[in-house]
Amino acid sequence: MRFLLVNPFYPIAEIPSPPLGISYLAGALERAGVEVRVLDLVVTAFDRAKLERALNEFQPDVVGATSVTMTFNSAISVIRHVKEIEPSIFTAMGGAHVSFCAEATLAKHPELDLVGLGEGEETIVDIVRAFENGRDFSKVPGIVYRDGNTIRNTGARGYWIDVDTLPWPARHLVPLGRYRALDLPISMTTSRGCPFQCIFCTGRQLVGAKIRYRKAASVVDEMEYIASLGFKRVNLADDLFTARKDHAHAVCDEILRRGLKVTWTSFSNVNTVDVPLLRKMKEAGCILVSFGLESANAEILKTVRKGTKIPRIIEAVQMCNEAGIQPHGSFIVGLPGETPETLREMHDFARRLAEMGCQTGVHMLAPFPGTAVYEQREKYGIRLLTDDWSQFHANHAITEQDSASYELQEAIAMEIEERAKKAFWDMAERVLNGTASEEDRETYARVERHGVYYDMMMQDVLETDGAWDVKRYGRSEADLVAELGARVHARTGQKPDAIARALDHALREGFLRYSVSGGRCTWTWTDEGPMWRPGDAGARPERAIEVSSAASFAPPTPIASRAAV
Ligand code: B12
Ligand code: SF4
């Protein structure tokens, strides 16, 4: 039995991290003895011929994609290609989007055979077993599937998975090296669930109101393992890491007991932090805590059932400052009850928070299927202006209400975009005219490198142009790098000096490597998973990046010695 999991495309600007849901599903399938592969279209390019080759080579029985609302169109397009290429392949989808509009999705998309609802680790194994046993899905709870011309819903699973029994995410199947090269954070979770009921969030419906915790020792085992993969930052992706203080304390205590040097960030709620906990988190490596602030208007906060008050937000920011952790708060423009006045309040409050050292971010309301603000939008006076799911990225206005027009909201979105662009170009100018600070220069160099790497990844430069005859172009490392640089320039149009700096950095850090054999040199991203995997006997290696056969290859510094970056 072979299962291909697909992580659909979404833009690098969203700061993706290696796909966690897909890795959990892959882990569950591997434990059930299923052969699994992951096609990750966030850091590799999609084209139909490539998909066709992958299907021919792997011969999957089932292809399953994940999606949130904004990635649904990309996900269903891959599924459509799969069905066109090989109609006998069974297709499935799950995730935060289709879990809440499964029937409508199956009705509209004949290329999709089944939707998994909510948490998928047990469901996906049940789907495989039912598929093997004559495709009778009627006994599999938690799915909606096509049965001839009928769409059948077997209902929710009715219980939440014990997260301590789950296998670790099978990250070795994901092209981790590319995420590492792009300096993106890596995510993990210590719990699932959220007791709050914010009307714009699907988190609670997806993972339940009762929080299920993992044991601290297992959490820190995983943290230790992912720290060994060479990522600079771990993102604790729990909906609410600080929901139960004794759990958060236990995780931090375990990190400290092991002396693990790892830099991490987490999501929180202003009601669930205090100074002793924040201090402990800081000591254990936490550098930033992100709060969903949503609005600066008390009435709106009440309407969206956030359960927070402005004085408490200020207190939480002060507590972070006292503990030495960077506070971050995010707002949503366009919540029910928004007016020009409430937007001014948000603007003034954000400025006040900035003066207190709090970073802030703003998203536009995107009413996702499954949320109260989508399902009861009439009650909330929200008019949805598009049914194109790819527009649900929350960076531009897609709603309006009597008191807050589309134009008003979109003007804010444009201003945010313009401000970000201007900040970048001002920094670029400072770098070019020699007046930039050290920090500016580092940021600029990082952005420049990432531009080169991302173009190389999304244009498949190494896969299609990264191997050649060394007799023709020379075999010293300088020759190989120069030839690769020329090819990257020809394909991406990036500036030669920027390419040279990026390639030099990639070689030094071990993101890229080459091998020469039989007169041919071949360049690859250092994508392989770790040599040591969870559950393997024997000691874990210092770092998990395979050292190239090239004599001059310089391995990256292990994260432990880059303590608390
Ligand atoms: C951490 C996180 C992120 C991280 C991603 C981390 C990662 N490596 O995956 C970052 C910061 C990058 C991120 C970005 C965004 N996120 Co986000 N994120 C979360 C958060 C808090 C946890 C996600 C997570 O890792 N869960 C744990 C894993 C195990 O769950 P999962 O991915 O959903 O997968 C499980 C099931 O869905 C199911 N499943 C999934 N796929 C499949 C496929 C099949 C075949 C089957 C059977 C089952 C199945 O099984 C999986 C295992 O149980 C959730 C909230 C939440 N509680 O889910 C929001 C959440 C997923 N994000 C959300 C949004 C909107 C975004 C952004 C669009 C941000 C924005 N611009 O507004 C981007 C889009 C990025 C993207 N393509 O996912 C929304 C999605 C709502 C929606 N309908 O679209 C959520 C639900 C929060 C909310 N506001 O309601 N996010
Ligand atoms: S926004 Fe945060 S606190 Fe509110 S329901 Fe979603 S995960 Fe919970």
Taking only the tens place, the pLDDT of each residue in 289-313 is: 999 999 999 999 999 999 999 999 9
CA of 294 to the centre of ligand 2 (A): 11
Give the residue from 406, 409, 405 showing the smallest Cα distance to 333: 409
pLDDT at position 528 is 60
Q: With contact defined as beta carbons under 8 Å apart, do 216 and 254 qualify?
A: yes
Atom nearest to 197 CA in ligand 2: 5
- Mutate-to-test residue for ligand 2 from 211, 238, 239, 301, highest number of ligand atoms within 8 A of CB: 239
> Structural domains in the chain?
2-153 (3.40.50.280), 185-382 (3.20.20.70), 439-565 (no CATH)
DSSP 117-164: -S--HHHHHHHHHHHHTTS--TT-TTEEEEETTEEEE----SS---GG
Model confidence at 531, pLDDT cuts 50, 70, 90, reads: very low
Average pLDDT over the chain, rounded to an integer: 91
pLDDT at position 540 is 39
Amino acid at 538: G
More confident residue, 377 or 240: 377
How many CB atoms neighbour CB 368 within 10 A? 22
More confident residue, 449 or 528: 449
CB within 8 A of 350, min separation 6: which ones? 296, 329, 331, 360, 362
Model confidence at 536, pLDDT cuts 50, 70, 90, reads: very low
Model confidence at 473, pLDDT cuts 50, 70, 90, reads: confident
CA of 209 to the centre of ligand 2 (A): 10
Kindly report, residue by residue over 369-413, the tens digit of the pLDDT: 999 999 999 999 999 999 999 999 999 999 999 999 999 999 999
Ligand lying closest to the C-alpha of residue 208: 1
pLDDT at position 475 is 83
Give the residue from 427, 460, 462 showing the smallest Cα distance to 444: 427
Kindly report, residue by residue over 491-506, the tens digit of the pLDDT: 999 999 999 999 999 9
* 189 Cβ below 6 A of ligand 1: yes
- Structure tokens of 244? 């139960």
| Dist. CA 205–CA 197, nearest whole Å | 9
Q: What is the mean pLDDT of residues 82-104?
A: 98
Q: Is the pLDDT reported for residue 556 higher than 60?
A: no
Kindly report, residue by residue over 344-366, the tens digit of the pLDDT: 999 999 999 999 999 999 999 99
Question: Residue 168: helix, strand or coil by DSSP?
Answer: coil
pLDDT at position 559 is 26
Amino acid at 260: L
pLDDT at position 474 is 85
pLDDT at position 159 is 83
Residue 291 is inside which H or E element, if any?
A: strand 286-294
Q: Is the pLDDT reported for residue 208 higher than 60?
A: yes
More confident residue, 70 or 13: 70
* 527 Cβ below 6 A of ligand 1: no
pLDDT at position 396 is 96
143-147 and 90-94 strand pairing: unpaired
186-188 and 234-236 strand pairing: parallel
Amino acid at 434: G
- Structure tokens of 489? 């320039």
pLDDT at position 561 is 26
Amino acid at 491: R
pLDDT at position 343 is 97
| Dist. CA 276–CA 289, nearest whole Å | 14
- Runs of H (alpha helix) within 19-71: 20-31, 48-58
* 198 Cβ below 6 A of ligand 2: yes
- Structure tokens of 518? 């039989």
Kindly report, residue by residue over 2-59, the tens digit of the pLDDT: 999 999 999 998 889 999 999 999 999 999 999 999 999 999 999 999 999 999 999 9
pLDDT at position 493 is 96
Atom nearest to 200 CA in ligand 2: 1
CA of 25 to the centre of ligand 2 (A): 23
Q: What is the mean pLDDT of residues 277-300?
A: 97
More confident residue, 96 or 473: 96
* 69 Cβ below 6 A of ligand 1: yes
Q: Is the pLDDT reported for residue 539 higher than 80?
A: no
Q: What is the percent of the chain where pLDDT is above 90?
A: 85
Q: What is the mean pLDDT of residues 457-476?
A: 92
328 phi, psi to nearest 5 deg = -135, 135
pLDDT at position 558 is 27
Kindly report, residue by residue over 155-202, the tens digit of the pLDDT: 988 888 999 999 999 999 999 999 999 999 999 999 999 888 899 999
- Mutate-to-test residue for ligand 1 from 6, 15, 20, highest number of ligand atoms within 8 A of CB: 20
Helix then strand count (H, E) for the chain reads 20, 20
pLDDT at position 148 is 93
- Runs of H (alpha helix) within 228-339: 245-258, 275-283, 298-303, 310-323
How many CB atoms neighbour CB 528 within 10 A? 14
